[in-house]
């Protein structure tokens, strides 16, 4: 006589639903005092955030992930791959298609609605994707999704690091997954050695003021003269510390999310062609060509500045 198959747990069904929404990794983390809060505070005090003063806001919420949602006890943490097998180029891989924030938030909110329908009542909760005072890497490691690499990225042993992280904080009792306790970087220092601007002051500690991603995206003033020659061909962002990582060289995936396919304004363009095009663009042309693009964060004047440096 065959035994009936065991009934899947609610946690298992939640993960299946998350995968069904297109996420590539899913884990459940307990909320509470963030393990990395003290290190993040020290990082801010050392001035490594540069002009990103918004990172200092709501420090109490950042230090304790239970505070954004009253009664919240857990987070469903997800990852969405953006295609590390794409060729290098003047724009970082994550920014070549549509903005990931809206895409992931919509999917997390849909997951939240499904959970409420399953439990038959409203469940207080809030979705975050990279824009709230949440130390998402901390939650992702708690949820078992990976470890902190020496390049400060979260690395998953089966997927590398070319993925976005999102979290859904919930006032709901769920069994958490085991945290990711081990480090698999070993003695490797390829990411530290390859950084064009030597932005890492120690393994896992990035001085954003020297990082090409910061210089081409977040910095609103002039790029320091001494760093300009080091930008090379990067018009927006930089992937070097990920490109050289052995975990990405082995496990990075082909692009599979249609929303992240490079837009027409970028496809096939080298740094010179893109820089020349951006320098001659009007605001109306830019708004049309880069609608829903992460590159709008740098604004057209910032991209013209970057283009001038690259051409120079």
**Would you name the residues annotated as active-site residues?**
130
Q: Which residues of 65-89 are buried (b: 16+ CB within 10 A; e: fewer)?
A: bbbbbeebbbbbbbbbbbbbebeeb
Closest CA to 258 of 15, 83, 78, 127: 83
Cα–Cα distance list, 19 to 24, 25, 190, 206 (Å): 6, 7, 32, 32
All residues at 6 or more sequence positions from 265 whose CB lies less than 8 Å from its CB, including other chains: 277, 289, 290
Q: 73 near 66, Cβ under 8 Å?
A: yes
| Number of DSSP helices (H) and strands (E) in the chain, helices first | 12, 8
Q: How many other C-beta atoms can be found within 10 angstroms of the C-beta atom of residue 15?
A: 20
Q: 307 near 279, Cβ under 8 Å?
A: yes
Residue 128 corresponds to which tokens in the numbers above? 């975050």
SS3 content of the chain, % helix, strand, coil (to 5): 40, 15, 45
Cα–Cα distance list, 37 to 32, 41, 76, 204, 303 (Å): 11, 6, 20, 14, 33
């Amino acid at each position: 006589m065959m035994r009936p198959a065991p009934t899947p747990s609610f946690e298992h069904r939640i993960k299946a639903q998350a995968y069904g929404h297109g996420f590539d990794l899913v884990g459940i983390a307990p909320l509470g005092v963030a393990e990395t809060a003290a290190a993040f505070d020290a990082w801010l005090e050392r001035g490594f955030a540069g002009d990103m003063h918004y990172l200092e806001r709501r420090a109490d919420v950042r230090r304790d992930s239970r505070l954004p949602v009253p009664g919240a006890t857990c987070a469903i943490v997800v990852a969405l791959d953006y295609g590390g097998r794409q060729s290098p180029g003047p724009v970082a891989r994550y920014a070549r298609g549509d903005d990931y924030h809206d895409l992931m938030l919509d999917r997390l909110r849909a997951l939240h609605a499904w959970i409420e329908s399953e439990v038959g009542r409203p469940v207080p909760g809030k979705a975050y994707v990279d824009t709230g005072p949440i130390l998402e890497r901390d939650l992702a490691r708690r949820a078992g999704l990976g470890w902190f690499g020496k390049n400060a990225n979260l690395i998953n042993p089966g997927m590398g690091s070319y993925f976005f992280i999102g979290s859904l904080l919930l006032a709901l009792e769920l069994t958490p997954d085991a945290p990711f306790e081990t480090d698999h970087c070993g003695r490797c220092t390829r990411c530290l050695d390859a950084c064009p601007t030597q932005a890492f002051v120690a393994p896992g500690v990035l001085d954003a003021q020297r990082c090409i991603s910061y210089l081409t995206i977040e910095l609103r003033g002039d790029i320091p003269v001494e760093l300009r020659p080091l930008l090379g061909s990067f018009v927006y962002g930089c992937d070097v510390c990920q490109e050289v990582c052995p975990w990405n060289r082995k496990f990075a995936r082909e692009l599979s999310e249609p929303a992240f396919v490079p837009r027409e304004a970028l496809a096939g363009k080298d740094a010179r062609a893109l820089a020349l095009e951006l320098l001659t663009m009007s605001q109306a042309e830019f708004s049309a060509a880069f609608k829903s693009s992460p590159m709008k964060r740098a604004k057209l004047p910032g991209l013209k500045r970057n283009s001038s440096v690259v051409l120079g």
